[in-house]
């Protein structure tokens, strides 16, 4: 069986991975597939740094802005959508290029994962309301009786993960630990992957993050978050967790001034990037790692590696 090539470009936020993917797509007749858990939603395009009109006009893009405020996308659902997109791209003789910083998505596609049950929004909303009302400690005690294995792994104050474990049990009648110890959904046998990681020097990355956050504000990020809030999205919608939303929403409520909002936004983004860097360095062994900002200078190195990959089946 001939395995179809897929190029994966990963890295932390503001690392330049989108520029790398765009250059590769233009050079090798590629189509870009989103692998970012926030960019799959159609709100907060500025805050989540979704590709702009110029990028969208240069090469085809898939899986950006698919869902609204009434939908959630799991890693399993994204995997199914990505495989469909890859097949469509292959059918028109283009090269699929996955780009994003959501490591769980990339790993789910490339190496397989444990598929979780679907959880109704009513269950999730009810548990989050209980978390606010009763606190994480009470819910953890409840989890001990349903899923002692998972409960033993979680700190009693980790409300988000406790709710996740309870909602899985409520939806399926089966503990999260049982789902996680079950059979892994295998990696697709008809695909082969070349992985490029953009991992700049930390200080350089932080400088980019600081600059980009200010540019986002100038481009209308505050107004975008204000519009998002006015649409009254579900309290547990993933976009609430998009980096930048919390400080901007706090600023809009008048609880902090603009300077404080900017500093907090930059700090939150740097912390998020640090977590992403750690994950990629420990979880993915790349075929090619880029430690400097993308430029024509390193293009030859990248393109040579990709050319060899595409020529070998």
**Mean per-residue pLDDT of the chain:** 92
User: Does 217 lie in the same domain as 302?
Assistant: yes
User: Does 303 lie in the same domain as 196?
Assistant: yes
CATH number of the domain at 89, please.
Answer: 3.40.50.300
The domain boundary residue, chosen from 180, 200, 218: 180
User: Does 249 lie in the same domain as 204?
Assistant: yes
> What does each C-alpha distance from 102 to 43, 134, 218, 288 come to in angstroms?
18, 31, 26, 18
CATH number of the domain at 133, please.
Answer: 1.10.20.140
Residue from 192, 195, 197, 209 nearest 280 by CA: 197
- pLDDT class for 131, splitting at 50, 70, 90? very high
Asked if 8 and 312 touch (Cβ cutoff 8 Å), the reply is no
User: Does 90 lie in the same domain as 47?
Assistant: yes
User: Does 83 lie in the same domain as 31?
Assistant: yes
- Res. 275: pLDDT tops 90: yes
pLDDT of the residue at 118: 80
Average pLDDT for residues 52-77, to the nearest whole number?
Answer: 92
- pLDDT class for 87, splitting at 50, 70, 90? very high
pLDDT of the residue at 180: 76
User: Does 132 lie in the same domain as 18?
Assistant: no
- pLDDT class for 2, splitting at 50, 70, 90? confident
User: Does 141 lie in the same domain as 222?
Assistant: no
Query: Structural domain tally of the chain?
Result: 2
User: What DSSP string runs through 115-174?
Assistant: PPPP--HHHHHHHHHHHHHH-HHHHHHHHHHH-HHHHHHS-TT-HHHHHHHHHHHHHHSS
CA distance 171 to 58: 43
User: Does 81 lie in the same domain as 127?
Assistant: no
pTM: 0.83
User: What DSSP string runs through 79-102?
Assistant: HHHHHHHHHHHHHTT-EEEEEES-
User: Does 296 lie in the same domain as 227?
Assistant: yes
User: Does 158 lie in the same domain as 10?
Assistant: no
- Res. 182: pLDDT tops 90: no
User: Does 230 lie in the same domain as 93?
Assistant: yes
Q: Which domain holds residue 158?
A: 121-180
The domain boundary residue, chosen from 137, 156, 180: 180
Average pLDDT for residues 288-304, to the nearest whole number?
Answer: 83
pLDDT tens for 222-240 read 999 999 999 998 877 899 9
User: Does 126 lie in the same domain as 41?
Assistant: no
The domain boundary residue, chosen from 180, 199, 215: 180
Residue from 160, 98, 164, 94 nearest 132 by CA: 160
Gyration radius of the chain over CA positions: 20
Q: Length of the chain, please? A: 313
Q: Map tokens 């890295």 to a residue.
A: 11
pLDDT of the residue at 295: 66
- Res. 32: pLDDT tops 70: yes
Report DSSP state, residue 189. Answer: T
């Amino acid at each position: 069986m001939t395995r179809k090539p897929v190029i994966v470009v990963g890295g932390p936020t503001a690392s330049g991975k989108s520029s790398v993917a765009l250059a590769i797509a233009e050079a090798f007749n590629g189509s870009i597939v989103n692998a970012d858990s926030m960019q799959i939603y159609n709100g907060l395009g500025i805050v989540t740094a979704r590709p702009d009109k110029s990028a969208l006009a240069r090469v085809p893009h898939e899986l950006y802005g698919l869902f609204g405020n009434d939908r959630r996308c799991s890693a399993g659902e994204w995997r199914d959508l990505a495989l469909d997109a890859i097949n469509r791209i292959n059918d028109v003789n283009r090269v699929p290029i996955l780009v994003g910083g959501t490591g769980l998505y990339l790993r789910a596609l490339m190496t397989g994962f444990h598929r979780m049950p679907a959880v109704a929004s009513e269950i999730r909303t009810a548990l989050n309301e209980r978390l606010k009302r009763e606190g994480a400690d009470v819910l953890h005690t409840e989890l001990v009786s349903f899923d002692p294995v998972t409960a033993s792994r979680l700190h009693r104050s980790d409300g988000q993960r406790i709710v996740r474990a309870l909602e899985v049990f409520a939806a399926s009648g089966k503990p999260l630990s049982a789902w996680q110890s079950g059979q892994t959904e295998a990696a697709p046998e008809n695909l082969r992957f070349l992985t490029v990681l953009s991992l700049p020097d930390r200080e350089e990355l932080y400088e980019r993050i600081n600059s980009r956050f200010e540019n986002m504000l100038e481009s209308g990020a505050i107004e975008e978050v204000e519009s998002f809030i006015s649409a009254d999205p579900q309290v547990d919608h993933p976009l609430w967790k998009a980096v930048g939303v919390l400080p901007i929403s706090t600023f809009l409520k008048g609880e902090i001034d603009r300077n404080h909002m900017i500093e907090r936004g930059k700090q939150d983004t740097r912390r998020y990037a640090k977590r992403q860097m750690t994950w990629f360095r420990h979880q993915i062994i790349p075929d090619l790692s880029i430690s400097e900002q993308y430029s024509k200078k390193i293009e030859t190195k990248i393109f040579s590696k990709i050319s060899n990959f595409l020529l070998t089946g």
